[in-house]
Structure 1
Amino acid sequence: MQLDQTHVKVRLRTMAEIGDLALIMVRRYPAAILVGFATGAVFWALLDLLVLAWIPITESSYGLDDEEAVWEIIRYLAWMGLLVMLQAPVAGVLSTLYLGLAVFEQRPTWASVRTEAKRGFKRWFWKLGIVRFALPPVIFLACRWGQPASGFWDAFVPLVILLWVSLVRASSPFMPEILLLEQCPIRSKSPDVITASRRSKSLHGPMAGDLSGRFISVSCVLVILLFSIGYSLLWARGISFGRWDVMNLFVLLVIYPFSLWCVAGISVMVRILNYLDCRIRLEGWEVELAVRAEAMRQFGEEPLAVATEAAS
């Protein structure tokens, strides 16, 4: 492993350059999306449909163009969009590990990626799956299965969750990388150990304002991308089968969730590239890699892979 010969050029980038590089990464490492992200996304997508699909299915029996059905469909669309947003980081665990290794290796093996994911399962699932609300809303919706729409439970509660998650994501977006790539423990009795919370403060604190601005910018672009993907799929369906209607089960149960997960996969790419850029700006990471690579050549020492160690 040559630490100064990375497959992604380690240098400062603007947000526009990061967006371009994310699309290049999708083309260069399609397995990160088609295999890594899809593996995690399929589980969560099926779980989401299990707790939400009954809404459009039930309403379709009465007619989806009914006035009362419109509010139920809005309820379905809102909850589905929120769930995918919450679950994207935990669904992208394998992609994050794969891309982290791909910076230094041409083609990481999925065996090594799965081994790393299993080794730290309790740590990252607790933080990303429970604390950051990927699983609790699913349980909540399962308890409300078959219940009519409620202004409090289906409008106020998801809005509060959205605002809270947006605040957390904007202030500390790189928690998946801290847990998966740097492998920081959640807790430690030793004051010398860099825990996830300490690392988060040191990484996110100095760039809190910039990271919040980037979060808003990326979110707006991803929303536009969602509409673009959804419209493209609707157009392809219309050209292929002559079906141009929007309000039907296929669109609600297949095209809409699929569009959401496509955007979620791209967001994982953008996040990890932002993480690399943040480390370069704060820690001069490109200089560290060059120094460590030279030490490795001169003294024959084999340091831990930078992509999978705790930050020094």
Structure 2
Amino acid sequence: MQLDQTRIVIRERRFGEILGLALQVTRAGIHWIAPLWLLGVSAFAVLNGFLLYPTLVDDLDFEEVPVRYGILLLILVAIETPLATAPITLYLGKMTFNSPFQFRTMLVELIRSLPQLLLYQVVLRTLLMPFLLLPYWLMPYLGELILLERNPLTGGRHQRLTTNRRSRNLHSNNGAELFGRWVTAVIVGGALTLALGFGIAILVTQIGGIEVTPLIQFLVVGPLSLWVVVGWMAVVRFLSYLDLRIRREGWEVELLMRAEASRLRRPSSLVSA
């Protein structure tokens, strides 16, 4: 693996550039991103439909727009997103360095990261969610840290760098920028979800000749559109994580130095042999 020969050019980018780059990365890796997206979201989508179907039916009996159902759906998706998009994040980590991606290896890495994912990304985020969604814009790249850097939960006797300390080091002193990007992502994601949902409904009605009832619109089309945008936002989040590492830690310089050090070690190993 050549650390300085990445598939994604490692440099600082504005958030608008990241959004555009995410489309290109998604297109380039669609052969893996699409099935991994389906693997990650399908079970959660079915579970949400099963849990919220009675609420949706009750809401539609009294109002045209099921507000209560929509709020509950957004809460569930927010809780489930770190787990649902974890396979995509692991793939993107391999894709960046042109490393071969194997499904079995990804599954092993996911299982190893699962305890911390459940603790930090599900339990703690769910508990902190009432506080203005603080964990979603103060620690947006915690999932990438858990999945890609794999720091331990506790330091142990050797006082190793833990996930919590690593997250503080990466996210500290960037609250304003992270909040701005989070707000932009919410606005863009919401607009795309609405546009995609209405687009699917129009296509099904006009081309397929199938009437999209309010029940189908909110139970199937709406969640499908939301999960598609969530999958794309996983790519955006990964690229934003790389960008923050570049800005905070000079990651592109670190990669160049590590790559050069690797090259310098090769001749010496051949001579010693």
1:99 positional shift: 0.4
Q: Distance in 2 between matches of 1:92 and 1:106?
A: 20
Conserved 8 A contact 1:124-1:179: yes
Q: Deviations over 1:107-148 (max 9, x none)?
A: 412222112112222222222232222xx8xxxxxxxxxxxx
| Residue 88 (structure 1) aligned with residue 55 (structure 2) | no
Conserved 8 A contact 1:85-1:264: no
1:106 positional shift: 5.3
Conserved 8 A contact 1:177-1:272: yes
Aligned position for 1:15 = 15
Match of 1:79 among 47, 72, 75: 72
Change (3 A) 1:205 1:40: same
Aligned AA (1:86): I
TM-score by length of 1: 0.80
Q: Distance in 1 between matches of 2:79 and 2:113?
A: 20
Q: Distance in 1 between matches of 2:123 and 2:190?
A: 25
| Residue 45 (structure 1) aligned with residue 45 (structure 2) | yes
Aligned AA (2:249): E
| Residue 196 (structure 1) aligned with residue 189 (structure 2) | no
1:186 positional shift: 2.1
1:216 positional shift: 0.8
Q: Deviations over 1:4-58 (max 9, x none)?
A: 0000000011111100110001100114431222211112112211211123346
Count the aligned residue pairs.
267
Aligned position for 2:263 = 297
Q: Distance in 1 between matches of 2:157 and 2:180?
A: 35
Q: Distance in 2 between matches of 1:38 and 1:70?
A: 30
Match of 1:271 among 231, 237, 251: 237
Conserved 8 A contact 1:26-1:32: no
Q: Distance in 2 between matches of 1:220 and 1:132?
A: 21
Q: Percent identity?
A: 32
| Aligned-partner SS, 2:161 | coil
Q: Distance in 2 between matches of 1:4 and 1:165?
A: 40
Structure 1 window deviating more from structure 2 (209-218 vs 47-56): it is 47-56
Q: Distance in 2 between matches of 1:276 and 1:132?
A: 22
Q: Distance in 2 between matches of 1:23 and 1:165?
A: 29
User: Structure 2: which 5+ runs fail to align?
Assistant: 268-273
Aligned position for 1:140 = none
| Residue 213 (structure 1) aligned with residue 180 (structure 2) | yes
Aligned position for 2:152 = 185
Q: Distance in 1 between matches of 2:225 and 2:81?
A: 13
